[in-house]
């Protein structure tokens, strides 16, 4: 039994936006497959959601940055009648690119790009055959422009943003939708993972809660929307990042982003972007 609303897969369900996507989907009657690396957090959430909403919840511990583990999971999920995929798991690396750990940079691309691509590819054929399904991809306003000191992260999110919007158009009329959720700053573990906890003290960033972002994403997904950017500040950031000519944008990034980065991270070196 899937729950009255069908099965939903949520990656990155152990915390932050993904946890609240799972909460919102369970409240809407979806059975769940919860995916992340932290088994304990997933099991705790699963027990709570089963008890509170009476839906079935499966836990799949998987390092989605590991191609072999990811393939096993993708093959398993491809045989299930999944009607919702929230491809949400992701993490940032921050700092001057040349100083970042190459293994972490590779894992970031594996997770933020390859895993979301592979899981979507695995689950779409079943959705299309059933003429029913929704894909929600968590991109970011960071994907609207290059972000110095988050070069790899912003590039991975540019992929997520573009991929989701292309699929949205491609899937029209099939009974399956694809929605891009592109948040601005959200208070989650995300910044601690990047060694940037200090950013959370920056009051000028318009912080949203993960509950609000997840709910906005689920509402947009239910309506088959192309794009959800929660909150007015993030909407402004999204538009500015997309449409400001680069010769105007880069001096602003240099003046605003690099000092904020330095104070948040205590960097020893700041790249020179004037060249
Ligand atoms: N917070 C923001 O300001 C913000 C803004 C825009 C976009 N986003 C995007 O929102 C998404 C969710 O991030 P969040 O803010 O909710 O951060 P978060 O609380 O750190 O959540 C990240 C989730 O991804 C999972 N994850 C990380 N590495 C993984 C791996 N190798 N394999 C499987 N799962 C993995 C984590 O679980 P485990 O550690 O248990 O594996 C966790 O459940 C990300 O794609 C992020 O890029 C965040």
pLDDT at 8: 98
pLDDT at 206: 85
* Centre of ligand 1 from the C-alpha of residue 128, in Å: 28
Report which ligand 1 atom has the smallest distance to the Cα of 187: 1
Active site residue: 44, 153, 235, 238, which one? 153
Report which ligand 1 atom has the smallest distance to the Cα of 153: 47
Report which ligand 1 atom has the smallest distance to the Cα of 41: 40
Q: Is the pLDDT of residue 268 over 70?
A: no
Ligand 1, atom 46, lies closest to the CA of 90
pLDDT for 45-69, tens place per residue?
Answer: 999 999 999 999 999 999 999 999 9
pLDDT at 20: 98
Q: How far apart are the first and last CA of the chain?
A: 60
Cβ within 8 Å of residue 46, ≥6 positions away: 32, 34, 57, 58, 59
Integer CA distances (angstroms), 2 to 9, 72, 91, 124, 161, in order: 12, 21, 30, 18, 30
7-265 maps to CATH 3.40.50.720: yes
Q: Where exactly are the structural domains of the chain?
A: 7-265
Does residue 194 contact residue 94 with C-beta atoms inside 8 Å?
yes
* Centre of ligand 1 from the C-alpha of residue 255, in Å: 28
Q: Is the pLDDT of residue 109 over 60?
A: yes
Does residue 141 contact residue 183 with C-beta atoms inside 8 Å?
yes
Question: What is the distance between the alpha carbons of residues 1 and 97, in angstroms, rounded to a whole number?
Answer: 47
Report which ligand 1 atom has the smallest distance to the Cα of 107: 31
pLDDT for 128-165, tens place per residue?
Answer: 999 999 999 999 999 999 999 999 999 999 999 999 99
* Centre of ligand 1 from the C-alpha of residue 92, in Å: 8
pLDDT at 265: 67
Can 157 be counted among the known catalytic residues? yes
pLDDT at 269: 39
User: Mutate which of 12, 104, 107, 228 to test ligand 1's pocket (most atoms within 8 Å of Cβ)?
Assistant: 12
Pocket residues for ligand 1 (CB within 6 Å)?
A: 12-18, 36-38, 62-65, 88-91, 111, 138, 140, 183, 185-186, 188-190, 193, 210
Both tokens assigned to 105: 């940079």
Question: What is the distance between the alpha carbons of residues 185 and 205, in angstroms, rounded to a whole number?
Answer: 7
Can 44 be counted among the known catalytic residues? no
Extract long-range pairs of 159-166: CB within 8 Å, 24+ residues apart: 159/112, 159/113, 160/90, 160/112, 160/113, 160/116, 163/116, 163/117, 163/120, 163/137, 164/135, 164/137, 164/139, 165/226, 165/227
Mean pLDDT of 192-210: 81
Average per-residue pLDDT for the chain: 92
- Band of pLDDT at residue 5, cut at 50, 70 and 90: confident
Mean pLDDT of 245-253: 92
Query: What global pTM score does this model have?
Result: 0.95
Mean pLDDT of 178-205: 86
Q: Is the pLDDT of residue 270 over 70?
A: no
């Amino acid at each position: 039994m899937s729950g009255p609303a069908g099965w939903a897969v949520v990656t990155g369900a152990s915390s932050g936006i993904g946890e609240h996507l799972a909460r919102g989907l369970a409240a809407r009657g979806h059975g769940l497959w919860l995916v992340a690396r932290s088994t304990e957090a997933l099991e705790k959430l699963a027990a709570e959601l089963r008890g509170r909403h009476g839906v079935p919840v499966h836990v799949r511990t998987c390092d989605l940055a590991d191609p072999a583990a990811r393939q096993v999971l993708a093959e398993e999920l491809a045989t299930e009648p999944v009607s919702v995929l929230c491809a949400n798991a992701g993490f940032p690396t921050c700092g001057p690119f040349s100083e970042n750990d190459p293994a972490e940079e590779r894992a970031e691309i594996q997770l933020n790009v390859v895993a979301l691509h592979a899981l979507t590819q695995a689950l779409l054929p079943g959705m299309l055959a059933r003429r029913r399904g929704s894909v929600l991809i968590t991109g970011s306003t960071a994907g609207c422009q290059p972000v110095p000191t988050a070069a790899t992260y912003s590039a991975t999110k540019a992929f997520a943003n573009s991929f989701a919007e292309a699929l949205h158009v491609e899937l029209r009329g099939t009974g399956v939708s694809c929605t891009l959720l592109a948040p601005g700053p959200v208070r989650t573990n995300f910044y601690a993972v990047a060694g940037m906890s200090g950013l959370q003290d920056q009051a000028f960033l318009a912080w949203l809660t993960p509950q609000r972002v997840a709910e906005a994403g689920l509402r947009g997904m239910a309506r088959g929307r192309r794009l959800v950017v929660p909150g007015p500040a993030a909407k402004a950031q999204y538009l500015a990042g997309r449409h400001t000519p680069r010769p105007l944008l880069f001096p602003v990034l240099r003046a605003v982003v690099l000092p904020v980065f330095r104070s948040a991270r205590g960097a020893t070196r700041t790249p020179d972007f004037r060249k």
